[in-house]
Amino acid sequence: MKKEWYIIHTITGYENKVKENLEAKIKAQGYENIIPNVVVLEETVIDTSSKSLERHIVSHDAKLHVSNGMDVEKGDLIAEEPAVKVRRDGTIVDVTNARRIVIETTDKKFSKTYVIPESAKPVSGLRVGANVFQGTFLAASDEYICDVDGKVAINEKVKKVVVRTILGDEDVYIIHVDVFNPSVCKKGVVVKAGQVLAEGRKIYAKSSGRVAIVEYPTRKEIVIQKTKKRKLYPGYLFVEMIMNDHTWEFVRSTPFVMGFVSAGGRPLPLKPQEVHYIKRLAGLEEIHHEAKTQITKVELEIQPGDSVKIITGPFEGFVGVVKEVDEEKQELKVNITIFGRETPVTVHVSEVEKI
């Protein structure tokens, strides 16, 4: 008998539960050839109104496992910093707990790195994004003073490893605590050029969402915008099946199923063009031999005429009015005032907040 597509009516909010229950019954009965597909049509919504964007700063040498516009799940590997390798033969003479603080100028074209031993008591409260100025004390010891104006880009715990070479001078290695191996980096250990002191640090997504990558002269920033699923047809799901009295009862008896969409008491099969629509949205059919389609919608709380503050990037701190919104590229054209003149600039939605 011919397989056709039908619409199941269920209790709103239980669509995925019905899908899960029905697929479990199909598998248990070995009905995969009789009822091959059960589909809940959803769209991925990017919530750009949230200020809780996830940000990761990586070096230009880092290997990225994601790209712009890519969707990631919580726990996915998104980047990997290179391994720390010995440059010259020598002996480890010192291993110190320290804090690596990177100050970046406002235009993000220049950065200065300070490695401060914990014994020098680095100043607490220097959180990422905090403003600092030339002359700011970075530790209780007056030996560590900021000599640039800017913002804290990185503040992390590290290990400072000093290797005295056979020539008598010293090479310094800064290793993130996440990849520090005390059995390898130990005082008195002889090391050889090319030897791995620490494996590359792996960075994982802390939440699910859509990736945006912003490149600056001194670093890269990976931004994850949180996403959520939204039902396209609340209270309905779609099933491909061979329809007869037995399969009708098999599906109808699934918990939370209210029945089939019917005409004159008979389940109404979808028309061919409707089937193509369902299969394309579900990723079961390709369009013009291209990759499988995914439903993605950008939900923007920001609209033309809204006032926004730019919170990152070269125009950080400026306030302006949105003139154009490009939902596909997730970009805004904002008019800001520079030197008394109104100037249009283009920014990514992750770089602004609505005010």
DSSP conformation class of 297: E
Lowest mean pLDDT among 42-46, 73-77, 130-134, 242-246: 42-46
Q: What is the pLDDT of residues 212-248, one digit of tens each?
A: 898 888 889 999 988 778 888 999 999 999 999 999 9
Q: What is the pLDDT of residues 79-121, one digit of tens each?
A: 999 999 999 999 999 999 999 999 999 888 899 999 999 999 9
Residue 54 banded pLDDT, cuts 50, 70, 90 = confident
Domains detected in the chain? 3-41+232-282 (3.30.70.940), 83-199 (no CATH), 306-354 (2.30.30.30)
Report, as an integer, the average pLDDT of 5-28: 95
Distance between CA atoms of residues 295 and 43, nearest Å? 5
Q: Structure tokens of 150?
A: 């800017």
HSE (CB half, 13 Å, CA atoms) of 260?
24
Residue 51 banded pLDDT, cuts 50, 70, 90 = low
Residue in this structure with the two tokens 């290695």, named with its chain if needed: 173
Q: Structure tokens of 62?
A: 């880092």
Query: Does residue 354 register a pLDDT over 50?
Result: yes
**174: Cβ–Cβ under 8 A, 6 or more apart, which residues?**
84, 98, 100, 115, 158, 159, 160, 161
Q: Structure tokens of 298?
A: 């950008």
Residue 201 banded pLDDT, cuts 50, 70, 90 = very high
Cα 285 to Cα 109, 193, 280, 289, distances in angstroms: 47, 54, 5, 9
Lowest mean pLDDT among 80-94, 125-139, 160-174, 335-349: 335-349
Residue 290 banded pLDDT, cuts 50, 70, 90 = very low
